[in-house]
Amino acid sequence: MRIIIVPDVHGRPFWRKVLTNKEDTIVFLGDYSDPYEFVEGYTHEEAIYELTDIVQFKKENRERVILLLGNHDAGYIDYKFISCRYSVKLYNEYHRLFTEDPNLFQMAYSITINDIDYLFTHAGVSPKWLSGHHLAFTADALNKAWLEKPNVFNEVGLMRGGKYMVGSPIWIDAEEHDSVSPYVQIFGHTQQEENPYINWNMWCLDCRKVFILEDGKIEEYKEQSWNVRL
């Protein structure tokens, strides 16, 4: 079994190479919104365009496309969530895309392949954060918590300028993680310059590339038809 992984999009079109894939499970790691407009040149309008097509791609492939939520996305679901590069002007459009179908997005996804357990979230999961909220270390528990008590995900750790010892699964920095995890954790959020950050069972893939997980190895996904439009 192969898993295709798309890290933080932020309005970039690199994710489009997965549109020609007709058989694999595809996991998006969140942060579709709030582009780096003054650094990379992508605008909020372009981010809306990309997110619209991602949502449509999910609707056409509900069983094999997984859309996770990131910290930037949460701010357009509930304005109380902390965010940056936020667009007040386009809040309503972002909000509609994130909320019009409550079954499109989720907080976590897990799968077992060849006896290895993998957990996918936007930023990773800290056992300390889980114990502080009496949550089990499972994707189901995280998804349920997001539906029942979403405010616990609005916790930013000290390393990201917040007041908490450790951040939530949409905020924790890669350097906050320890290695205590029953899973191989796959996440984005902490942007890398060129290559993914792989530290035993903590894999941070936020480097503007699509990856493929196969036979316990993670490699860049080489499909080149990235300019496909819906």
Q: What distance in Å separates the CA atoms of residue 18 and residue 221, rounded to the nearest whole number?
A: 9
Mean pLDDT of the residues in the chain? 94
Q: What distance in Å separates the CA atoms of residue 187 and residue 6, rounded to the nearest whole number?
A: 10
Domain positions in the chain are: 3-220
Convert the pLDDT of each residue in 168-221 to its tens digit.
999 999 999 988 899 999 999 999 988 999 988 999 999 999 999 999 999 999
- The verdict on domain 3-220 having CATH code 3.40.190.10 is no
0.85 cut: is pTM over it?
yes
Least confident of 8-12, 70-74, 190-194: 190-194
What are residue 164's DSSP bridge partners? 157
Task: Using pLDDT thresholds of 50, 70 and 90, give the confidence band for residue 229.
Answer: low
CA contacts within 13 A on the Cβ side of 201: 14
User: Is residue 137 a contact partner of residue 125, using CB atoms and an 8 Å limit?
Assistant: yes
User: Is residue 125 a contact partner of residue 135, using CB atoms and an 8 Å limit?
Assistant: no
Closest CA to 205 of 190, 217, 224, 216: 190
Convert the pLDDT of each residue in 85-114 to its tens digit.
989 999 999 999 999 998 999 999 999 999
Residue 230 pLDDT > 70: no
Mean pLDDT of 61-90: 93
Convert the pLDDT of each residue in 119-153 to its tens digit.
999 999 999 999 999 999 999 999 999 999 999 99
CA 28 from chain centre, in angstroms, equals 6
